[in-house]
């Protein structure tokens, strides 16, 4: 068992194979009394590579877990908002997203000099909103095209009915 109690919360181990890692998160008493147990399936080899395995290139296996604190205490929420590594989403109302340059200027914790940084996923809320807007436009265009086709088919049916009545 390994215990990591301070940032950066990282472990470096070597080995071969795959197994499940049990992760236990303990929170401050004003947040939650019970620890949170998570599991991560660790793979120590790349799935998509054929040929000889390399120990030079890290294997990146990512999973997304989201922890939601419903109705957090005001002191805890203020502590989270003021932490430099946390960006608390505050959208709707005026619905504006900060420019990526502004977000990048904020201090994001101790991971920027990490040797694995090239393998981290860059997430931009603004990019995701743009992708959602583009997908919505595609769906709207597809719906409009289907409605036009339906109107044409209905018109053809009406013509066939009127000619068959003659």
Q: What is the C-alpha end-to-end distance of the chain, expressed in Å?
A: 87
For 148, the 3-state DSSP assignment is helix
19-39: per-residue pLDDT in tens? 888 888 888 887 887 888 888
Q: Does the global pTM surpass 0.85?
A: no
- Amino acid 96: pLDDT: 56
In the chain, where the domains are located: 125-166
93-132: per-residue pLDDT in tens? 665 555 555 545 545 555 556 666 666 667 778 888 888 9
Distance of alpha carbon 72 from alpha carbon 78, whole angstroms:
10
CA 51 to each of CA 17, 46, 55, 58: distance values in angstroms, whole numbers, following the listed order: 16, 11, 13, 16
């Amino acid at each position: 068992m390994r215990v990591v109690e301070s940032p950066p919360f990282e472990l470096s181990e070597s080995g071969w194979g795959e197994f499940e890692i049990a992760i236990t998160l303990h929170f401050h008493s004003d947040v939650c009394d019970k620890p949170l147990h998570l599991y991560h399936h660790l793979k120590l080899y790349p799935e998509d590579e054929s040929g000889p395995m390399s120990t030079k290139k890290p294997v990146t296996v990512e999973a997304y877990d989201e922890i939601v604190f419903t109705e957090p205490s005001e002191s805890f929420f203020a502590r989270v908002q003021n932490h430099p590594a946390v960006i608390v989403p505050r959208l709707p109302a005026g619905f504006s997203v900060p420019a990526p340059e502004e977000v990048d200027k904020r201090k994001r914790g101790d991971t920027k000099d990490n040797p694995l940084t090239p393998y981290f996923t860059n997430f931009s809320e603004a990019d995701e909103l743009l992708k959602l807007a583009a997908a919505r436009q595609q769906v709207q265009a597809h719906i409009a095209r289907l409605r036009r086709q339906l109107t044409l088919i209905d018109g053809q049916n009406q013509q066939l009915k009127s000619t068959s009545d003659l």
